[in-house]
Chains A and B, each alone.
Chain A
Amino acid sequence: MRKDLVWLFGGVLFFGLLYLLNWGVKAISTDLLVWIGAFLSLAILSFLYQDNPFYKFAEHLFVGVSAAYWMCMGFWNTLVPNLIAKLHPPIVKGVLPAIAEKPPEYWYIIPAALGIMFLMRLSPKAPWISRWALAFIVGTTTGLNLVRYLRSDFVGQIKSTLIPVIVVENGSLSVGGSFSNIVIVLGVLCGLIYFFFSKEHKGIFGVASRVGIYILMITFGASFGYTVMARISLLVGRMQFLFGDWMGLLQ
């Protein structure tokens, strides 16, 4: 008998026994589903110590269940309403009665054809056809993203940086405001200089590029620090589940 499986089955048995013994005795949950949730949560947490049979079990279960989950979602929420129902509405009468009355939209043949082309990879004779579908996907992705990024990240971000470096508020100089704006404008400029590829980072250019690195480091440090608390709250939620919903130790 394999040692890891002995551990795994032993653990599951122990857990099951606990479940049966505590049935209605203490504040601990009597709901089998909660117990399953608790077991799986503990199995994942055990990875923090080291890899072990419980984690392996949970991980492999997670992969199988979640892969099937998204495939079912894709089938029922995309393929059925957005393809089958468009090409031949009556077929979805039982599932989507509202759509079944609509006239068919035949241009949905195009994605269907592309999908089948993509599957031609499996064909022994013409696997190269799948590359046409891929070329279509890559062409659209690049085309769409080129304009999207140009618009919101390039033009949009530059626009927000068109600010006065000397701020006058109610007729008098605002030192704080001016300082902040100077930092923003210089920060963006130096940050961009850091990314320059085709000029050696030397002299004044090198100094600016150093400042750019510092600005990036502040950005990274600040964003990191800001996220820490949000991450901890996820763990608090899990602990509240384990100690509250499952063990019944919290009011």
Chain B
Amino acid sequence: MRRQIPLIITFIVGSVLIISVFIPHKPFGQLGENFSVYFDIIAVFAFILGAGNLLRVHGNRIYRKHKDWPYSVVTVAGFTVMMIAGLFKIGGSPGITGDLTEPGSMFEELYMYVFTPLMATMFALLAFFVASASHRAFRAKNKEATVLLLAAFVILLGRTPFGVKLTSWLPDPLSFLEIPNLASWIMSVPNMAGQRAIMVGIALGVIAMALRVILGVERTYLGADSE
């Protein structure tokens, strides 16, 4: 029975939400909007599980003198400091009346000078990885890879002055072969066709997957039922 109740909940909630799209009348019409509010609230409750897990993992490392335990101290310390700064809104308006991200508050300073540079640099690593990935992946190993390479190459060239110069001598009737024009054609025609096929496929995949879950055919996500 314990196994059945969650399946019934999923079935009822899922089907009601599908039907509600077609029923504008209250309370059905608003169900979808309400859910995202609900979900965010549940997610905040779940933070307790997440924070607990994070502290447990790093606490264990420190306790068991794991190879990297000193770094776990950094995580726990960073977490604690940021948590205190945020929950008690330290350094902002008196008490907790101010805005969480008020300029001058400790939370905001930590965000600006610790969080932001870390985030921006991590993001910037992409510039390097894009280069190494294209060096390795864009090789004419077989027909598919050749097509991939050619498309990427035309687009890449189209965005450098060199690529633009390369074909600018072409006479007017052949101007559609100029690299920038070719690049924008690839973007707006075959690229779009491929994107569409992918999106239609995704929609069908989501529909079938959702039906399997709602009908209880797929129940892996519900986890252990031994008890």
A115 near B203 with CB under 8 A, answer: no
A215 near B41 with CB under 8 A, answer: no
Contacts of A145 in B (CB 8 A): 206, 210
* Cα A149 to Cα B159 with chains together (Å): 34
Give the distance to chain B from A193, nearest Cβ to Cβ, in Å. 9
Whether B166 is near chain A, meaning CB under 8 Å from some CB there, is no
Tell me the B112-167 residues at the A interface (CB within 8 Å).
112-128, 130, 134, 138, 143-145, 147-156, 159
Whether B77 is near chain A, meaning CB under 8 Å from some CB there, is yes
Whether A119 is near chain B, meaning CB under 8 Å from some CB there, is yes
Evaluate whether A62 and B149 lie within 8 angstroms (CB atoms) in the complex, with A137-B39, A228-B130 already known.
no
Contact of B13 among A140, A219, A224 (CB under 8 A): A140
B45 near A150 with CB under 8 A, answer: no
Whether B21 is near chain A, meaning CB under 8 Å from some CB there, is yes
Evaluate whether A223 and B191 lie within 8 angstroms (CB atoms) in the complex, with A61-B74, A61-B78, A111-B42 already known.
yes
Give the distance to chain A from B99, nearest Cβ to Cβ, in Å. 9
Evaluate whether A143 and B14 lie within 8 angstroms (CB atoms) in the complex, with A48-B125, A217-B148, A220-B148 already known.
yes
Give the distance to chain A from B69, nearest Cβ to Cβ, in Å. 10
**A86-117 contact mask (Cβ, 8 Å, vs B): 1 or 0:** 00000000110000000000001011101110
Whether B174 is near chain A, meaning CB under 8 Å from some CB there, is no
* Cα A58 to Cα B112 with chains together (Å): 15
* Cα A186 to Cα B68 with chains together (Å): 56
Whether A187 is near chain B, meaning CB under 8 Å from some CB there, is yes
A221 near B150 with CB under 8 A, answer: yes
Tell me the B183-227 residues at the A interface (CB within 8 Å).
185-204, 206-207, 209-211, 213-214, 221-223, 227
* Cα A153 to Cα B210 with chains together (Å): 15
**A204-247 contact mask (Cβ, 8 Å, vs B): 1 or 0:** 00000000111111111111111111011011011001000000
In the complex, the chain A residue whose C-beta lies closest to that of B130 is A231
Tell me the B17-63 residues at the A interface (CB within 8 Å).
17-18, 21, 32, 35, 37-52, 54
Contact of A150 among B39, B107, B207 (CB under 8 A): B207
Contact of A142 among B44, B95, B154, B213 (CB under 8 A): B213
Contact of A47 among B49, B125, B200 (CB under 8 A): B125
Binds B, one of A20-28, A127-135, A164-172: A127-135
Whether B104 is near chain A, meaning CB under 8 Å from some CB there, is no
* Cα A118 to Cα B194 with chains together (Å): 41
Q: Which of A74, A190, A191, A222 has its CB near the most chain B CB atoms (within 10 A)?
A: A222
Contact of A74 among B47, B202, B223 (CB under 8 A): B47
Contacts of A249 in B (CB 8 A): none
A153 near B199 with CB under 8 A, answer: yes
Give the distance to chain A from B98, nearest Cβ to Cβ, in Å. 9
Whether B168 is near chain A, meaning CB under 8 Å from some CB there, is no
Contacts of A180 in B (CB 8 A): 185, 188-189
* Cα A180 to Cα B188 with chains together (Å): 9
Contact of A79 among B41, B114, B124, B151 (CB under 8 A): B41
B197 near A56 with CB under 8 A, answer: no
**B94-114 contact mask (Cβ, 8 Å, vs A): 1 or 0:** 011100100000010111111
Contacts of A187 in B (CB 8 A): 189-190, 193-194, 196-197
Contacts of B149 in A (CB 8 A): 221
Residue numbers of A with Cβ under 8 A of B are: 2, 5, 33-34, 36-38, 40-41, 44-45, 47-48, 56-79, 82-83, 94-95, 108, 110-112, 114-116, 118-119, 121-122, 127-128, 131-140, 142-147, 149-150, 153-154, 157-158, 160-161, 176, 180, 183-188, 190-192, 194-195, 212-229, 231-232, 234-235, 237-238, 241
A-B contact pairs, 7 of them (CB 8 A): A71-B83, A72-B87, A144-B17, A147-B17, A187-B197, A225-B159, A234-B127
